[in-house]
Copies of this chain bind each other. A is one copy, B any other.
Amino acid sequence: MNFLSDFIPLFLQQLQSPTLGFLIGGIVVASLGSQLAIPDSIYKFISFFLLMKIGLTGGIAIRNSNPSEILLPALAAVLIGIVIVFIGRYTLGKLPGITVPDAVATGGLFGAVSGSTLAAVLPQLDSAKIPYEAWTAALYPFMDIPALVTAIVVASVYLSKRNGKASENVEIWPIIKESMQSSAVTSLLLGVALGILTKPEPVYESFFNPLFRGFLAILMIIMGMEAAQRMNELRKVAQWFAIYAFLAPIVHGFLAFGLGLVIHKITGFSIGGAVVLAVIAASSSDISGPPTLRAGIPSANPSAYIGASTAIGTPVAIAICIPLFIGLAEMMG
């Protein structure tokens, strides 16, 4: 029961986090019949802004990383990000009453990465005196962005197939191309490209980074107001999201830890680095995920995936997965 004494305060703290707090605020306001509305053009701009920022963050991190050293762990991160989406699609998505777009979006969110969970593991590795490569933090965009793009593509393919099922032979490549040309994926990849190829640091530091939290908070209010309309859908299936959100971080973490150990055997990648990879996989994003998935999979219910990730997934990643994988690394060290 030591676990519960760690878990419950983290759970309560998450309820006060701006991300979940503003989402709940939006739900309450809409439920009380408020006439508050954020104009659609503002939503579109906020969405573009947030995705550009997420892309720029990733692109700058990639530019500053060492390509030869990072190659294999980065490929592992890309692979894990993609696989996590398919795990969500074919486990959560097969449960009764759960729609595929909701399952894929949830998978995308758990494939995406939480910067704060990543920030939590690094000092704990230091305290435990487990060495790890300094560039491991730069692995996060390699898992984050493929997971989100994969989720958008998988949902688009599913929806096209379902709508065109009469003809049965839906072509997949045009749908993938269309997903890549959508506003959401374009904004994300444009940010990545500008982060890698230009030097956007002055714009990033003066604009995209400081305003990010604020626009995210406003997006949360918008998503909360929308979620209020869709609460009934969720009530009957909430337990499945809760079970998924509890188990997924542990499963994803073991998957990544195993892959990390394989790379450790091949290239000498440190065991501490494998812990970082595992925790990145265990984490779920309450930062990059919600705006991307809201724009890229509009038919998914944000209160399902954000609630699952923020209220359960993140506390599990921090309170269970971090000590678990650090303990395993110590046993091996």
Instruction: List residues of chain A with CB under 8 Å of any chain B CB.
Output: 15-18, 21-22, 25, 28-29, 32-42, 44-45, 48-49, 181-183, 186-187, 190, 193-194, 197-200, 202-203, 206-208, 210-211, 213-215, 217-218, 221
Contacts and interface: CB of A to CB of B under 8 A. Distances in A.
B214 A208 contact: yes
A181 B33 contact: yes
B193 A203 contact: no
Contacts of A211: 206-207, 211, 214
A199 B17 contact: yes
A186 B211 CA distance: 23
A155 to B, nearest CB: 16
B200 A207 contact: no
A52 to B, nearest CB: 8
Contacts of A200: 18, 21-22, 217
A30 to B, nearest CB: 10
A264 to B, nearest CB: 36
Q: Number of copies of this chain in the oligomer?
A: 3
Contacts of A208: 214
Given A18-B200, A35-B181, A45-B42, A29 B207 contact: no
A27 to B, nearest CB: 11
Contact of A21 (B15, B17, B198, B206): B198
B213 A183 contact: no
A198 B213 CA distance: 15
Contact of A37 (B40, B42, B183, B213): B183
Given A35-B183, A206-B210, 7 more contacts: A17-B198, A35-B181, A36-B190, A39-B45, A200-B217, A203-B217, A207-B215
